[in-house]
Amino acid sequence: MGSKPNVVIRSANSTDLPYLENIRKAAFAPVFASFRKILGDEIYNLAQAHEDEAQGELLASLLAPDSDWEVYTAVIDSSVVGFISFQLNLDRKVGEIGLNAVNPNHAGRGIGTIMYDFVISKMKEAGMQVATVATGGDPSHAPARRAYEKSGFTVQIPSVWLCQKL
C-alpha cells in the first residue's frame, strides 16, 4: 500500500486495556466467525464458543503485574493500532509469541511484521535460541500466517483439531 507507517513500539500498561480489547474484538471477529462456519452452530456453541469468549480475560491477564508475559503496543500518531505479547523461557532459551493483533483498519500495512521483528529482536537480546508462535490453519488465519512467515517463521508442524457431535 504506500510507504511503511511510522510505528512506535512501547510497553503496554493497564490503561491501554480498553484500546487493546477493542483491537482484539475487531481483529478476531472474522476468526471466530470462521470457526462457527467450519464447525456449525451446534458444535461451535458446545466446543469453541467458551474459548473465544474467554480471550478477553486472557488479554487482561497478560497485563497483570504477576504475568510471565510482556505486552507491547504499536502506536501511530498517538493511537494504539496493535499489540503483541510474548514470554521468555530462560531455561530452555525459547521465546513464545502469544496473543497479538492489529486493528483491521490498519491491516496490510506491515504493522504486524514490525511488531514481530521487534519481539524477535528482544528475544535475541535475551539469549533465546528459538522463537515460536502458534496460529490457525483455517482461511481466516492466512494473513497471520503470511506475516509470521515474512518475519522468518518458516519451520512448522501442521495441526488439525477434529470434532464430532455426540
The domain total for the chain is 1
Phi/psi at 130 (nearest 5 deg)?
A: -140, 145
Residue 3 lies in a domain: no
Where are the strands (E) in 13-110, listed by range?
70-76, 79-89, 94-102
Residue 156 lies in a domain: no
Widest distance between CA atoms in the chain: 52
Question: Range of 12's domain?
Answer: 8-150
Query: Is residue 59 a contact partner of residue 99, using CB atoms and an 8 Å limit?
Result: yes
Give the pLDDT mean for 131-150. Answer: 94
Residue 83 lies in a domain: yes
What pLDDT does 3 receive? 61
> Domain holding 77: CATH number?
3.40.630.30
Residues 85-112: tens digit of each pLDDT: 999 999 999 999 999 999 999 999 999 9
Residue 166 lies in a domain: no
Q: Which is nearest to 118 in space by CA: 3, 2, 10, 5? A: 10
Say whether pLDDT at 36 is over 80. Answer: yes
Residue 86 lies in a domain: yes
Whole-structure pTM value: 0.94
Q: In this prediction, what percent of the chain has a pLDDT beyond 90?
A: 95
What pLDDT does 113 receive? 94
